[in-house]
Structure 1
Amino acid sequence: MMSNSTQGLVFTLAIAILAICAQNSEARVTLENGVKSMVYLSPKITQHPGSVSNKFYYDIEFPKGHIALKSFNAEVVDEAGDSVPLHETYLHHWVAVRYYQRKGVTNVKYNGKLGFQQSDFIMTGNAGVCNHGLSQFFGLGSETRKTSTYVPDPYGIEVGNPLEIPVGYEEKWLLNIHAIDTRGAVDPMGCTECRCKLYNVTDDEYGRPLNANYEGGLNCCYDGTQCKVKNELEKSVTRNLYLRYTVKWVDWSDSIVPVKIFIFDVTDTWQNTGINDCLIEFNVEQSTTGAANISTRRSSVSFPTAGDVVYGVAHLHSGGINSALFGQDGRIICSSRSIYGEGNSAGDEAGYIVGMTACYPEPGSVKIGKGEILTLESNYSSAKSHTGVMGLFYILVAESSLAVNNPVHIHQETMVPVFVWGIAVFGFAILVAVVVAYRRKKQTEDGYQSISS
């Protein structure tokens, strides 16, 4: 039998070994059909009923080396690893951003603010088209569980290329997680839409007074704010949550075709100002006619490069119906529709968007020319008003030398099963409806057919 001192030494060594293994996440990498996969947890998110967490977490765990990213999926879980439903904690959004940090600089603060000199930090961002505010490589919201982010073969998002990393810097990743706890809320949906009156907020997070006409949005539900709950005592009940994210990748090789990430915003001002200022959020006014109860918003931009579209998906908030990206000649580049939950369990929450359909065109079938004018359309229900909603659209493009006046292929939207829980049947029904709608010959005065008609 071991002595007490020996037992204590063994116990101490065991804890040390476990700590080392916990830090060495690469030891738990799985391999399937040549694709590596790793599951990570974000730093702890502590919440109580009505609370808001909207922090930036720097230097998160992420695969190392010169690789091709194949997907990035995420969801909110509790300390037991169980999925947390949206009607308890609403995932407003999460984004994953790549950056370069000067080697040897470690004074990063985890309070939502940069904790080092600007010269020590270089944001790499995606390929555009917005000038600021939308620099993420990946990012979704409430729809995260049932939205496919997989990059099809032979394509991949190239990261970790040592030739691209500035001398003296190293590549790192950050997460921004915006989670709103709506347990016991007086108006749960109002909390998710960041309605200012529910947060009793009159200044933004920087102490600047809000415009009197600002009804709701990100400026009212920043980190540390509190949405109104029924029982004030509930604020003392806290729990710890995490964003569990799964990254899939392959080692980089010459056989992989690199793709670039482009994000469009229906609030982009380019068509009026010539500058890609993306306002990110907007409001939907309640319809007073009682007719179609659909609010449509559009924006147009000039595409900066040329290439083949290999993937596309929209990001909408509750009330969102569908969104589509149109080419200059009115063809559909990709359309994406909201999937709403019908139950109470995580991933099927009634009243919430739990997924978005994605486009996977046949390779080479959907082309965009350099300088081509693209139009983004987002449709929301206007049966009631909505504040702080978004209308974003992600596409992945394999670049080419295609000119704007070259022939382009008109395609029908292609769908893939998002996950194994039966979305395929629903997706096929949506596909048929979309194809029929877009085969109508009549075009609108804007040069394309509205997806809401």
Structure 2
Amino acid sequence: MSISRKKAGNRFVISERMMGCLGRYLIFSLGLLLVAAGISPGHGKKIKSAVFLSPKLVLSPGSVVNEYYHNIDFPRGHIGLKRFDAEVVDEAGNPVPLHETYLHHWIIQPYYARKGVELSEQDLRKNLGFSGQDSHRNLESGSEPDFILVKNGGLCRNTLRHYFGLGSETRKTSTHVPDPYGIEIGNPEEIPDGYEFRWLLNTHAIDTRGVEDRLGCTECRCDLYNITVDEYGRPITSDYKGGLLCCYDKTQCRVRKGFDNGRTRTLYLKYTVTWVDWDSSVLPVTIYILDITDSWKKTKGSTGINDEHNCHVEYDVKPCKSNCAGDDDVSLDVERKSLAMPFNGYIVYGVCHQHAGGRGAALYREDGGLICSSTPTYGKGVEPGNEAGYIVGMSTCYPEPVKVTKGETLVFESNYSSAIGHTGVMGLFYIMVAQQLPDHGNSFPALIRGNLKTVNLSGLVAVAGVVALVVIAAVVYRRQNRQQDGYEPLST
């Protein structure tokens, strides 16, 4: 079959094939413009973003800030979180390098606060720290707590309950939730009567300017901090050499003699939140955090539910004693943990959190099949984001959705160099799990038609520009063929 076009003076008829090509070009161009205008083709929603600053972090050489800030600035309403990015900046907004202020970690945690009640720093520290208590128990016992934590899906919900959290790697680690998924926040139907939805921020920063041992300070070695009791006055056992118990808020790491100890400066955690307004086009994902120190054991009758997990959060890496030769490929500490998953769903995102010395982590099926891996990037210079000797980024895994069934055992592996010893390191793996997959029956043109409802003025102007380009292309085509006479067969 062939379709013809006939030249007639200055007029001509465009073939059906050409119309199809132009139509596809127009649709593709519209899609690109929608993305450029901030419209996500995955769910037809306008992407929104806002930048905030934490309360002041006042630091002097060797000092530690580990504060909990409640009711921080954050987007309000029923939304779908798409990403959370953070970095430490000075008063002028300039990024601060890790070799001056080490960002041990930051975490954000949603919670419900009873209306009219102001929470004290002491309450926050006691109930929201890694060794905090579970506010839900107070609610279940019949009393009315001042706040109720909104926890992630597990597995370590009594210690690792936050939604987002990273450390030195934060500048170059993607927290982006892939389309069409989002982390559902602020659903009014889930807020208890008499409460309001709020956000908590915990920032742990160590000023290492002028310290005797920069790595030792960032690994919170107890001897460098001259600490024998924890922040609650409880004795620390002699076999605990370093970690969170020894570098709590307002502790001091040892500074070199003669170093000017009076140079106090004010810093901030600058955080950028990206989100979409919630509706049925956004598919919810649930956050789960796996911990290599989890004490869970597979026993008869064990289900893998959250109450069975005791996560210690941090551990030590002992130095290699033989075949070391300073070669990290040989001197490797490998920790593995088999964990039963308490959900049915699809893994769509994964990333690991490790400290200096980390060599990456991976998540496997029980038969050894790789699901997701995450490896560190080490800096090679002095500028922020490329500090030599520090992990400045972790690769993020976006697998084709991996189906996991409830009770299925997955194997988490965390690797560290053991060329030297390390204290207080972490091996955490964040995964996001969707309960359902997108409907692939929605074609790209249909998505664009839906997105046109949300295009802003600048987007419409851009679309008009593309239409003009298509018209110009048609005119050019006509002029190129103006010299041809009669009929020209076009095969299909």
TM over 0.5: yes
Q: How does 1:26-425 map to 2 (within 5 A)?
A: 32-33=38-39, 34-109=46-121, 113=125, 119-231=145-257, 234-271=260-297, 275-291=308-324, 292-362=330-400, 364=401, 366-399=402-435
Q: CA deviation at 1:106?
A: 2.2
Contact 1:55/1:112 (CA < 8 Å) preserved in 2?
Answer: no
Instruction: Tell me the secondary structure at the aligned position of residue 224 of structure 2.
Output: helix
1:133 counterpart letter in structure 2: T
Contact 2:68/2:121 (CA < 8 Å) preserved in 1?
Answer: no
Task: Decide which structure has the larger Cα Rg and report it.
Answer: 2
Q: Distance in 2 between matches of 1:334 and 1:107?
A: 40
Instruction: Tell me the secondary structure at the aligned position of residue 235 of structure 1.
Output: coil
Q: Distance in 2 between matches of 1:212 and 1:108?
A: 32
Contact 1:58/1:108 (CA < 8 Å) preserved in 2?
Answer: no
Instruction: Tell me the secondary structure at the aligned position of residue 144 of structure 1.
Output: helix
Q: CA deviation at 1:232?
A: 5.9
Q: CA deviation at 1:133?
A: 1.3
Q: Distance in 1 between matches of 2:127 and 2:295?
A: 32
Instruction: Tell me the secondary structure at the aligned position of residue 253 of structure 2.
Output: coil
Q: CA deviation at 1:313?
A: 0.2
Instruction: Tell me the secondary structure at the aligned position of residue 326 of structure 1.
Output: strand
Aligned residue number for residue 24 of structure 1:
none
TM-score, scaled to structure 2:
0.73
Contact 2:151/2:157 (CA < 8 Å) preserved in 1?
Answer: no
1:385 counterpart letter in structure 2: G
Q: Distance in 2 between matches of 1:44 and 1:232?
A: 28
Q: What percent of counterpart residues are identical?
A: 57
2:310 counterpart letter in structure 1: D
Q: CA deviation at 1:368?
A: 1.1
Q: Distance in 2 between matches of 1:177 and 1:67?
A: 24
Q: Distance in 2 between matches of 1:97 and 1:380?
A: 28
Q: CA deviation at 1:112?
A: 5.5
Q: Cα deviations across residues 271-315 of structure 1 (Å, max 9, x unaligned)?
A: 278621000000000001124100001112110011111110000
Q: CA deviation at 1:109?
A: 3.4
CA RMSD of aligned residues (A): 1.9
Q: Distance in 2 between matches of 1:207 and 1:232?
A: 31
Q: Cα deviations across residues 127-153 of structure 1 (Å, max 9, x unaligned)?
A: 000141111100000000000000011
Instruction: Tell me the secondary structure at the aligned position of residue 188 of structure 2.
Output: coil
2:87 counterpart letter in structure 1: E
Unmatched 5+ stretches in structure 1: 1-30, 402-453
Contact 1:326/1:375 (CA < 8 Å) preserved in 2?
Answer: yes
Contact 1:109/1:115 (CA < 8 Å) preserved in 2?
Answer: no
Q: CA deviation at 1:164?
A: 0.7
Q: CA deviation at 1:399?
A: 1.8
1:333 counterpart letter in structure 2: I
Compare 117-126 and 255-264 and name the one that shifted more. Answer: 117-126
Aligned residue number for residue 422 of structure 1:
none
Contact 1:48/1:234 (CA < 8 Å) preserved in 2?
Answer: no
Instruction: Tell me the secondary structure at the aligned position of residue 158 of structure 2.
Output: coil
Q: CA deviation at 1:115?
A: 9.8
1:143 counterpart letter in structure 2: E
Change (3 A) 1:272 1:236: farther
Instruction: Tell me the secondary structure at the aligned position of residue 125 of structure 2.
Output: coil
Instruction: Tell me the secondary structure at the aligned position of residue 190 of structure 1.
Output: helix
Unmatched 5+ stretches in structure 2: 1-36, 40-45, 129-134, 139-144, 303-307, 325-329, 438-492
Q: Distance in 1 between matches of 2:286 and 2:222?
A: 37
Q: CA deviation at 1:233?
A: 5.7
2:62 counterpart letter in structure 1: G
Contact 1:56/1:111 (CA < 8 Å) preserved in 2?
Answer: no
2:273 counterpart letter in structure 1: V
Higher relative contact order (CA 8 A, sep 6+): 2
Contact 2:51/2:273 (CA < 8 Å) preserved in 1?
Answer: yes
Q: Distance in 2 between matches of 1:135 and 1:208?
A: 24
Contact 2:371/2:399 (CA < 8 Å) preserved in 1?
Answer: no
TM-score, scaled to structure 1:
0.79
Aligned residue number for residue 489 of structure 2:
none
Contact 2:243/2:314 (CA < 8 Å) preserved in 1?
Answer: yes
Contact 2:112/2:148 (CA < 8 Å) preserved in 1?
Answer: yes
2:57 counterpart letter in structure 1: I
1:103 counterpart letter in structure 2: K
Q: CA deviation at 1:333?
A: 1.5
2:346 counterpart letter in structure 1: D
